């Protein structure tokens, strides 16, 4: 049956492309994906597959019960876009000003919808139950995964699998990890209040730019001198805002950044060390500060057996020439909440587009659409392999 399913998915390649390109033209940002959620619901309505809407927010979950006994397995695809202007010169360029699918979620959705249509045709032969989990708001914490888990919508699920079309990995390559796969991702903002004044009289001021610069410099010690060298962490300042003109000393500066880590136990240590440094620098300069730390997605930790199942599934797909375990990446993913709640694994499906290899979240981001059926085949192969194993 799997050979027939794979063949049908190949035959429906253009369907996947058409869905992906339609969604690419009409993107919606996190928590505002109302029309996209309706599009997904309408697809299942037309197929006659039972579904729920507004799950944990804008989530849509469809359920296909097989004709044979087996486990219940969720296959997840996210569907939100990013606040980025699309700069590609392609017919399917985003038609929404300042919004684009710059991370491949349109492709994830096209993959899962087409897989659902295909599997409905084999419903009587299907062991177990497939839960088609369409998740909103992956891009912006607190995200859509946690409220979906908290809603109880997947309490009955035995395992969860998902994939990300990975634009910097070659077509035909599958990548995953048997342990930590993606980093925990947090956000912070530091506001420093000094005392402004004339640029010619710095001794009468408390220069918020100088103080902020000291904070930026000293914060680099958190990773280099206060964390075990055998641990992996990143502390990045992405925004430094201060000042209004050339001859005025700024009274306030704002720093915004991100913290990434692979070991969840590091989070509180990093927060504590940051607070010490910020407080110390500001006290030394007679300035005040506000430190707002937002805990984001935890590290994504795959279950070893399920990741091994994914690697073996990849070796059964003709279009995949390399199925490999890789070191973790420092990007974050709220799929982490699913593997905290249930067994499962996440993996990358290579989708690098020849001649246009731009990273995720880039204004010219695009994918090789031939990766769509590869992703679908791997997901359903993993589903059947899980049923057989269990």
Active site residues: 80, 138
**194 near 206, Cβ under 8 Å?**
yes
Which residues are registered as beta bridge partners of 345?
161
- Assess contact for 8 and 121: CB atoms under 8 A: yes
Q: How far is CA 223 from the centre of its chain?
A: 24
- The residue assigned the tokens 């997901």 is 379
Residue 363 and residue 100: Cα distance in Å, rounded?
Answer: 8
Q: Which residues of 152-187 are buried (b: 16+ CB within 10 A; e: fewer)?
A: ebbeebbbbbbbbbbbebebbbbbbbbebbbbbbbb
DSSP 1-17: -HHHHHHHHHHTHHHHH
With CA atoms as reference, report the closest residue to 339 among 297, 378, 381. 297
Pairing of strands 173-176, 344-350: antiparallel
**Phi first, then psi: what are they for 236, rounded to 5°?**
-125, 130
């Amino acid at each position: 049956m799997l050979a027939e399913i794979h063949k049908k998915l190949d035959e429906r390649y253009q369907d996947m492309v058409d869905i992906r390109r339609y969604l690419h033209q009409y993107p919606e940002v996190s928590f505002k994906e109302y029309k996209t959620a309706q599009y997904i619901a309408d697809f299942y309505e037309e197929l006659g597959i039972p579904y729920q809407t507004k799950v944990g927010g804008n989530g849509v979950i469809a359920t296909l019960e097989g004709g044979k006994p087996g486990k219940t397995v969720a296959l997840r695809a996210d569907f939100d876009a990013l606040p980025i202007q699309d700069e590609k010169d392609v017919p399917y360029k985003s038609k929404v000003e300042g919004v684009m699918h710059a991370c491949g979620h349109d492709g994830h959705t096209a993959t899962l919808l087409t897989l659902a249509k295909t599997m409905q045709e084999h419903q009587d032969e299907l062991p177990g139950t497939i839960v088609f989990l369409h998740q909103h708001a992956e891009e912006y914490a607190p995200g859509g995964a946690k409220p979906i888990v908290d809603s109880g919508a997947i309490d009955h699920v035995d395992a969860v699998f998902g994939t990300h079309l990975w634009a910097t990995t070659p077509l035909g390559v599958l990548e995953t990890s048997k342990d930590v796969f993606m980093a925990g991702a947090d956000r912070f903002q530091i506001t420093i209040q000094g005392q402004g004044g004339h640029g010619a009289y710095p001794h009468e001021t408390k220069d918020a730019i100088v103080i902020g610069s000291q904070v930026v410099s000293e914060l680099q010690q958190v990773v280099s001198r206060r964390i075990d060298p055998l641990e992996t962490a990143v502390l990045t300042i992405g925004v430094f805002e201060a000042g209004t003109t050339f001859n005025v000393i700024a009274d306030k500066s704002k720093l915004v950044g991100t913290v990434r880590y692979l070991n969840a136990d590091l989070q509180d240590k990093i927060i504590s060390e940051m607070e010490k440094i910020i407080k110390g620098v500001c006290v030394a300069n007679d300035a005040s500060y506000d430190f707002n730390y937002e805990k984001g997605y935890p590290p994504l930790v795959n279950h070893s057996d399920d990741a091994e199942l994914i690697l073996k599934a990849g070796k059964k797909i003709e279009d995949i020439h390399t199925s490999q375990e890789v070191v973790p990446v420092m990007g974050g993913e709220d799929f982490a909440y699913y593997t905290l709640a249930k067994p499962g694994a996440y993996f990358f499906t290579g989708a690098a587009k020849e001649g246009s290899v731009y990273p995720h979240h880039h204004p010219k981001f695009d994918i090789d659409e031939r990766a769509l059926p590869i992703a679908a085949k791997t997901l359903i192969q993993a589903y059947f392999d899980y049923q057989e194993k269990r």
